[in-house]
């Protein structure tokens, strides 16, 4: 069995100020998956990434990168990770080429101009390679940071709020880039407070709030729960049992027989809503009111975050 790309056990981080930024985090991220860490501002996303990457000390707990302890075997562990931090911090007076080559060197890798060239071309930075970073736009700086993180061929890539302050165009192209990396086997962890981004990109989603991981779920499972719509029928008069012609609809009878709930997939053309209404009419069941409801990741998020 392959080791998880990242394994975090009972991780706690208390800042010097006394603030508990991470509270007993347990998380395994499989190799090759895209994991989205979703949470409001101040939830602890950056702190978690900083702890895994060795930028801050942890107060308690274990972090392993592909089975290597992140402090005892820090050389192996850190060598596998590329980090694109949240803030655009760059060496303003360096050229794009130099800063990316510098990053590769820091991680102990010998020069490889061909590889750097490939990265810069992939990120549409090639024609800017001799430009000083301070002369670049914000979006381009963000891409330089990505190039730096990829320069040492990491197996795991962290993207901390990659979409912050980035226009739609760049966001889309970044997403394509990220998918391409995943297709080549790179494990990707991104943090975001845009639900749309998590929905679009992730294989699995973790929701963090006030330093606690409150939910970890496969996106597919989550979307199955979310993608469905409910048709709620308030009945005119009480029904004791569902008539046989309606058996196929898997209806739920509630409110003392005065409410029928039908769950369907709105994305399907033949989702059964029209037929159900016909069947109801044929069976002589009259509706007082009809309502539909769709839960979204947003709903779940708001509910979960509100509860915790």
Partner 1 sequence: MNFHGILSIYKFEMGRTMRTLGQSIASPVISTILYFIVFGSAIGSNIGDIDGVKYGAFIVPGLIMLTVLSQSIANASFGIYFPRFTGTIYEILSAPLSFVEITIGYVGAAATKAIIIGIIVLTTAGFFVPLEIQHPIWMAFFLVITCVTFSLLGFIIGIWADGFEKLQLIPLLIITPLTFLGGSFYSISMLPPFWQSVSMFNPVVYLISGFRWSFYESSDVSLATSVTMILVFLSLCIGIIAWIFKTGYRLRN
Ligand X SMILES: Nc1ncnc2c1ncn2[C@@H]1O[C@H](COP(=O)(O)OP(=O)(O)O)[C@@H](O)[C@H]1O
Task: Note the residues at the interface with partner 1 (CB under 8 A).
Answer: 15-16, 50, 53-57, 74-79, 81, 83, 85, 87, 89-94, 98, 102-110, 148
**Residue whose token pair is 């709020």:** 161
SS3 content of the chain, % helix, strand, coil (to 5): 35, 30, 35
Rounded CA separation 30/187 (Å): 8
Write each residue from 38 to 77 as x if it is in contact with Mg ion (CB under 5 A), else as -, in one continuous string: -------xx-------------------------------
Nearer to ligand X, 120 or 213 (CB): 213
Binding-site partner at residue 33 among Mg ion, partner 1, ligand X, none, CB < 5 to 8 Å by type: none
Tell whether residue 79 is a contact of ligand X (CB under 6 A).
no
Q: Within positions 27 to 46, which residues make up the interface with ligand X, using CB under 6 A? A: 39, 41-46
Burial class (CB in 10 A: 0-12, 13-18, 19+), 263: middle
Report yes or no: 84 and 145 within 8 Å, Cβ to Cβ: yes
Strand ranges across the sheet with 156-160: 81-84, 156-160, 187-192, 34-38, 204-209, 212-218
Nearer to ligand X, 46 or 99 (CB): 46
| Per-residue H/E/C for 110-144 | CCCHHHHHHHHHHCCCHHHCCCEHHHCCHHHHHHH
Tell whether residue 297 is a contact of ligand X (CB under 6 A).
no
Binding-site partner at residue 100 among ligand X, Mg ion, partner 1, none, CB < 5 to 8 Å by type: none
Report yes or no: 151 and 112 within 8 Å, Cβ to Cβ: no
Nearer to partner 1, 53 or 305 (CB): 53
DSSP state of 193: S
Q: How far is the CB of 280 from Mg ion (least distance, A)?
A: 51
19, 92, 106, 252: which one contacts ligand X (CB under 6 A)?
19
Binding site for ligand X (CB under 6 A): 15, 17, 19, 21, 39, 41-47
């Amino acid at each position: 069995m392959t080791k998880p790309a990242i394994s975090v056990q009972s991780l706690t981080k208390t800042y010097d100020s006394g603030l508990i930024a991470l509270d007993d985090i347990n998380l395994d991220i499989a190799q090759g998956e895209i994991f989205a860490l979703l949470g409001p501002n101040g939830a602890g996303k950056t702190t978690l990434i900083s702890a895994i990457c060795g930028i801050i000390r942890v107060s308690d707990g274990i972090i392993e990168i592909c089975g290597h302890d992140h402090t005892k075997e820090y050389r192996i562990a850190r060598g596998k990770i590329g980090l694109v931090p949240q803030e655009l911090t760059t060496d303003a007076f360096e050229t794009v080429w130099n800063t990316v080559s510098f990053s590769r060197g820091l991680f102990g890798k010998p020069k490889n101009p061909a590889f750097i060239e490939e990265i810069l071309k992939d990120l549409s930075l090639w024609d800017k390679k001799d430009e000083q970073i301070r002369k670049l736009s914000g979006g381009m700086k963000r891409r330089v940071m990505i190039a730096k993180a990829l320069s040492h061929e990491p197996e795991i890539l962290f993207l901390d709020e990659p979409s912050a302050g980035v226009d739609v165009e760049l966001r889309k192209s970044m997403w394509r880039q990220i998918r391409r990396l995943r297709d080549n086997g790179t494990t990707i962890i991104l943090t975001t407070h845009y639900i749309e981004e998590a929905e679009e990109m992730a294989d699995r989603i973790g929701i963090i709030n006030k330093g606690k991981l409150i939910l970890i779920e496969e996106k597919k499972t989550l979307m199955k729960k979310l993608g469905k719509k409910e048709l709620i029928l308030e009945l005119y008069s009480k029904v004791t049992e569902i008539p046989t012609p309606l058996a196929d609809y898997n209806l739920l009878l509630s409110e003392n027989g005065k409410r029928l709930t039908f769950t369907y997939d709105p994305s399907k053309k033949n989702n059964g809503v029209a037929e159900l209404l016909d069947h109801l009419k044929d069976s002589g069941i009259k509706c007082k009111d009809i309502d539909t409801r769709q839960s979204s990741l947003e709903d779940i998020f708001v509910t979960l975050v509100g509860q915790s």
